[in-house]
Amino acid sequence: MRKVRISREQVEHIAELAHIELTEEEKNLFTEQFNRILEFFEKIDSARTNNVPPTYHVFDLVNVLRKDEVGEPLPRESILRNAPKREENFFKAPRII
């Protein structure tokens, strides 16, 4: 496995792309932190997962949606009660175009 390292120059380049000014201490700190993060990824990559089936969710859930059922609508007045602006029985929104 190849050891990937982030150089101080790369940290400076990333900061420049992000338009962030870094002090010398921050450049050193971020270089160290980026490299520690990459070490964690190397540990994850070295895990033996040949016999582990892929998972898409940590819980064995099939469908968590509630059943779609027709019911009585909420009263119009209670829906419009907290509208910042309204016109008769409608929400009023600013004109877009």
The token pair that represents 74 in the structure block: 């909420």
Spatial distance between the Cα atoms of 20 and 43, rounded to a whole number of angstroms: 30
Say what the alpha-carbon torsion angle 68, 69, 72, 78 is, to the nearest 10 degrees: -20
The kind and range of the H/E element at 80 are helix 76-80
In this prediction the pTM is: 0.50
| Residue position matching structure tokens 């270089």 | 31
The predicted-structure confidence for 3-28, as pLDDT tens digits, reads as follows 769 999 999 999 999 999 999 999 99
Phi, psi of 91 (to 5 degrees): -75, 140
pLDDT of residue 1: 53
Indicate whether 45 pLDDT > 60.
Answer: yes
Domains annotated for the chain, with CATH where assigned, are: 8-45 (1.10.20)
